[in-house]
Amino acid sequence: MDVERVAPDERLRIAVLGDFDGVHTRSWLRWFVERGHELHGVAFYPPREPLEGVNMHALRPARGDRPVAPNSASSKTSRFPRGLMRLAHAVRYRAAGLARVLGSLDADVVHAHYLVEHGFYGASAGVRPYVVTAWGSDVLVEPRRDPVTNLIARYTVRRADLITSNNVYMAERIVALGAPPSKVEVVTLGTDRYFTLRHNQSVNVRGRSDGAACVLSTRAHEPLYNVEEIISAFDDVGRVRPGVRLVVAHGGSLTPALQRQASATGGQIEFPGFLERAAFRDALADAEIFVSVPSSDGTSVALLQAMAAGCFPIVSDLPTQRELIEDGVNGYRVPLHRPDILAQRVVAALADPELRLSAAARNRAFVERRGLNETEMLRMESLYRRLPGVS
């Protein structure tokens, strides 16, 4: 990113709670590090990969077996309700000295990511000023799973000085959980200009001179993202448009099952694994269509990157996606769990290069206006400075 450095006397000391192995938290931190602020990350265990420019504070040292930190990743397989597990995890964070560590940092602001986990743990520590960012399922799904998680969400939003979300619909859900509207802001963790710079090289802009048309999926291979429905739809697409490729990037617990499903379809389906930043941008430039059909979603960073790079999006018809995609104008929205309709939309998009070209221009303009980290993170910085006690 091309980030202008802040003046030394304007540096903020920011303490962050979150999943430091997660791509979104790391992306958020990267911008503020490059901006020149002093960043401190507080985690139960050290992250798997170091974070350049971030001073890490682990409540417990890593052991040889690399245990899983107490969060949703560990509670998904538990026999206990998630809400009770989160209460237990909050006790573990407290016993490990979370409040003491946060207090010792004397940060200008403490910022937690993911409302019902790290957001809850930080709220329980009683730090001020306190910011929480919601990412999607922590607002749209988890509070509806069990009464305890609902209470956790309500407790957290009442104790935060500021709550941010990636879109308007999520902001409305946060207010419904009891947050004062004056404390809720929409700040989009989006894409860097790095992805818009490849826009003119997109096959939808320059045209494809050789090779087969390509459909790209990059969401995690987990139940929420319905990747098996994309493969099922692609089987139908292949009957109408033989030779089209499907690239199923990323990975997850369902990868082996998805690979078995793909081998049974007989289509040209590739599994390249997780794509690093440069490879991901190349894949977007080489794909006519980006498909993402999760059952629930916030504002997907991958979707914004696809829009920035000129890839034609086909997404689930969810309230959050309606803020991004106007059906038939800059992409398609499809009903949940309808791979037959998904297949029809893929075929229609492949057959309409003019629609894809028009959508590419609209989507780049949208991202420039509302989805660039270079502007959205500056907004976040200004919101930090408006908090009580922050200079």
Q: From the CB of residue 386, how many other CB atoms can be counted at a distance below 10 Å? A: 11
- Partner residues linked to 349 by β-bridges: none
Q: What pLDDT, on a 0 to 100 scale, did the predictor assign at position 87?
A: 95
Tell me the average pLDDT of the chain.
92
**Domains delineated in the chain:** 8-190+372-385 (3.40.50.2000), 193-370 (3.40.50.2000)
Cα gap 43→20, rounded to integer Å:
8
Which residues are CB-contacts of 37 (< 8 A; sequence separation ≥ 6)? 6, 11, 12, 13, 14, 381
The answer to whether the beta carbons of residues 56 and 17 sit under 8 Å apart is no
Each residue of 122-174: pLDDT tens digit?
999 999 999 999 998 899 999 999 999 999 999 999 999 999 999 999 999 99
- pLDDT tens digits for 324-345? 999 999 999 999 999 999 999 9
Compare 386 and 210 and report the one with higher pLDDT: 386
| 30-34, 69-73, 269-273: range with lowest mean pLDDT | 69-73
pLDDT for the residue 71: 61
pLDDT in tens, 366-377: 999 989 988 999
* pLDDT at residue 23 is higher than 90: no
Predicted pLDDT of residue 68: 54
User: Which single residue is written with the structure tokens 């697409």?
Assistant: 237
Spatial distance between the Cα atoms of 295 and 317, rounded to a whole number of angstroms: 9
Average pLDDT rounded to a whole number, residues 315-325: 95
pLDDT at 63: 59
Please say whether the beta carbons of 86 and 75 come within 8 A: yes
Alpha-helix runs per DSSP H in the chain: 23-35, 72-75, 82-95, 98-105, 118-125, 137-140, 147-159, 168-176, 193-196, 203-206, 227-240, 255-265, 277-285, 301-309, 319-322, 339-350, 353-370, 373-385
Q: How much is the pLDDT for 324?
A: 94
Residues 111 and 90: their CA atoms lie apart, in Å, by 16
Residue 111 has pLDDT above 90, yes or no: yes
Measured CA angle at 281 (ends 278, 283), to 5 deg:
110
